[in-house]
Amino acid sequence: MIAKSTIENVFETARVEEVIGDFVQLKRSGSNLKGLSPFVDEKSPSFMVSPVKQIWKDFSSGKGGNVVTFLMEHEHFSYPESIKYLAKKYNIEIEETVQTNEDLAVANEKESMYLVSEFANKYLHNALLNTEEGKAIGLTYFKERGFTNDTISKFSLGYSPNSWDAFTSVALGKGYKLEFLEKTGLTIVKEEKQFDRFRGRVMFPIQSMSGRILGFGGRILTNDKKAAKYVNSPESEIYHKSKVLYGIYHAKQAIAKQDNCYLVEGYTDVIQFNQAGIENVVASSGTALTPDQIRLVSRLTKNITVLFDGDAAGLRASIRGIDLILEAGMNVRVCAFPDGEDPDSFAKKTPYDKLVLFLEENAKDFIQFKASLLMKEAKSDPIKKADLIRDMVVSISKIPDRIKQEVYLQECSRIMDISEDVLFNTLAQIDKKDVSDTNKKFKEEQKAFQVHKNDEGIVETKVDIQDELERKIIEILLLYGNVEEEFEDVLIKANEEGELVEVKELNTYKVFNRIYLSLQEDEIELANPVFQAIYSDIINYYNQVENFDIESYLKQINPEIASEVTSILMNEEREVLHNWESQQIIVKLKDKTIGQYVTETILTLRWYWVNKIIEELKIEVSTTNKEDNSETLSMVMDYLGLTNMFSKKLGRVMSRYT
């Protein structure tokens, strides 16, 4: 594990504006920097970087965070990979913490396998370009496929010499252990003999999303019928073929930016598309598509376009993977090439503009594609047609989104000329439980997103008051939590006559303590789970450190809540971004009346919370058949008394500060 001291050194040294500046063109905007979003296509800049706060926010995509979260979002690095990237950029030596012998052995073994694979990649690439055999056989083959020198270099293509142990001998001579050569599958060991697995093949290195070499694919160039056309690295600690997509390293940024991923079958399909100018393409490398591979794409986009060869048998076999994509909640389109063509051959002879146009015009929604494909088989056979319809409804049943299901059923009804009622009944029969769960989820989502009409009949989004109040609580904690302010306390004391009376006192509290004590008084938990997580995290942090520093807090924040935190912190930058002052919209600075702002927010949240309880009690009275509701009505009266008290307190707060 990376030592805490190294992580702290990285955060202290790295500058968010310098790191992001390597990927995004930034321009000065007051004390901040702005630029076009690297996550979506846009013409007006919505991406803001705050050198003072050392955070960034993309108002188009909603993403945000610190320097590490940018690398995790943009480069799709893991947290350790981001730290190592920054350490390398700023020449910081990485110190590893002491690990158990078992942890150390596992880590060392995996790292040794990575190092062996990296060495193999360089060796094979060099053998292709700088040996007579490599140039005569491997390079000639790649040139015949139409690959340029730049493409060969970009994908680090290689050649494995056609001798029993050419690579193994060189690797052992360089000090690499036979144990790791065997574990990566580069070398096959039998009794006391060892020989190269990929001898006489052109080589395709398979990279992780962060660019590390995981394994290789090798294609034979002879007509040996006993040898497999393609051989892949065997499963290992670093290579799991069901979790890897060929080309993902080169495609990840284009996929995220284009918001679409083209899925093909082979290595050369990916390479030829890249050379043609379309980079958002990956391959399942000849294996059946897996849920792990789909999840890899879903980190980048929710849209997949599956590209099929023009061969009908291949189409029928490959179409099974579509159901898995639908089940993952992804949007699927399908594009088939003309008979006799595959993505490689078609991209090779088609100019970029025409290739893009072909994909746009021929990419069909999966249901149209499946219907047109399978109807050819059904023809006029009613039994086959019935089976086809059921097959399509089975695919639709995989979709988790209820609205999409209904739209697809309507489309299926139109294409297949069958009533919607029959299709809905069939869907219900396929899996009643799944449909029930989907409906429940749909209703909850619809309930959460309510709309109402104003006096002019225009539909507007209904603001979630509680959500806005909870967001204000988080904003106050982040911006003013460590500030000391005077707050009014109402105490019950005995007067000279011995009567209990209210006495108002002004006491000084740190803002975070005042908020915590006030919410504890009513045992309130924030309803929004993200806000509750942030609230708990901030309160814990305030209690652990003597002096809260926003930059230090952001260094250790969980990436899962980073986006929401930066949204709140960059709220003022949003106002600058939209240049509201030039439109004579003046934003009130809250830090001039922190005490009032805090008290108003807390009282309003408590007031809202109590009102919800009152409404629930009223519903209970009206819907239950209890003869005696006196206890419930008494509770309603008590809570109404609380709301009156909140109203009076709010009035005093307003008058005190105005």
The whole-angstrom separation of Cα 368 and Cα 405 is 14
Q: Is residue 229 part of a domain?
A: yes
Q: Which range has the worst mean pLDDT, 27-31, 45-49, 546-550, 638-642?
A: 638-642
Strand-pair partners of 213? 207
Q: Which range has the worst mean pLDDT, 269-278, 379-388, 539-548, 577-586?
A: 577-586
Tell me which residue range forms the domain holding 397.
248-440
**392 touches 416 (CB < 8 A):** yes
Q: Which range has the worst mean pLDDT, 223-232, 313-322, 576-585?
A: 576-585
The CATH number that applies at residue 42 is 3.90.580.10
Looking at 35, 54, 89, which one is the last position of a domain?
A: 89
Residue 265 has pLDDT above 60, yes or no: yes
DSSP 507-528: EEEEHHHHHHHHHHHTT---SS
Q: Is residue 449 part of a domain?
A: no
State residue 332 phi and psi, 5-degree precision. -120, 130
Q: Is residue 177 part of a domain?
A: yes
The whole-angstrom separation of Cα 199 and Cα 187 is 10
Quick one: three-class SS letters along 455-518? CCCCEEECCCHHHHHHHHHHHHHHHHCCCEEEEEEEEEEECCCCCEEEEEEEEEEEHHHHHHHH
Both 269 and 233 in a single domain?
Answer: no
The CATH number that applies at residue 216 is 3.90.980.10
Looking at 239, 266, 282, which one is the last position of a domain?
A: 239
Both 362 and 482 in a single domain?
Answer: no
pLDDT of residue 311: 60
Residue 462 has pLDDT above 70, yes or no: no
State residue 638 phi and psi, 5-degree precision. -60, -45
Number of domains the chain contains: 4
For residue 554, give the 3-state DSSP assignment. helix
**285 touches 246 (CB < 8 A):** yes
Task: List the Cα angle 433/434/438 in 5-degree steps.
Answer: 120
Query: What is residue 410's DSSP assignment?
Result: H
Q: Is residue 9 part of a domain?
A: yes
Both 417 and 520 in a single domain?
Answer: no
Both 402 and 499 in a single domain?
Answer: no
Provide the greatest CA pair distance for the chain.
110
Look up residue 233 and give its two tokens: 């690295």
Q: Is residue 507 part of a domain?
A: yes
Residue 195 has pLDDT above 90, yes or no: yes
pLDDT tens-digit series, residues 71-120: 888 877 778 888 888 998 899 998 876 555 565 555 578 888 999 999 99
Both 184 and 322 in a single domain?
Answer: no
Both 219 and 262 in a single domain?
Answer: no
Strand-pair partners of 33? 28, 49
Q: Is residue 533 part of a domain?
A: yes
pLDDT tens-digit series, residues 430-450: 755 554 454 454 445 444 434
Looking at 59, 89, 119, which one is the last position of a domain?
A: 89
Look up residue 588 and give its two tokens: 């009130």
Q: Is residue 276 part of a domain?
A: yes
**32 touches 55 (CB < 8 A):** no
**378 touches 386 (CB < 8 A):** no
Q: Quick one: which of 614, 618, 616 has its CA closest to 644?
A: 614
pLDDT tens-digit series, residues 172-182: 999 999 999 99
Both 190 and 280 in a single domain?
Answer: no
Residue 465 has pLDDT above 70, yes or no: yes
Q: Is residue 572 part of a domain?
A: no
Both 167 and 207 in a single domain?
Answer: yes
443-456 in b/e form (b: 16+ CB < 10 A) is eeeeeeeeeeeeee
Look up residue 75 and give its two tokens: 């480069």
* Residue position matching structure tokens 């939590």: 481
pLDDT tens-digit series, residues 373-401: 766 666 677 887 788 788 888 888 888 77
Mean pLDDT over each residue of the chain, to the nearest integer: 80
Both 153 and 52 in a single domain?
Answer: no
State residue 263 phi and psi, 5-degree precision. -110, 120
Strand-pair partners of 187? 196
Both 283 and 215 in a single domain?
Answer: no
pLDDT of residue 303: 93
pLDDT tens-digit series, residues 637-653: 766 766 666 666 655 44
pLDDT of residue 460: 46
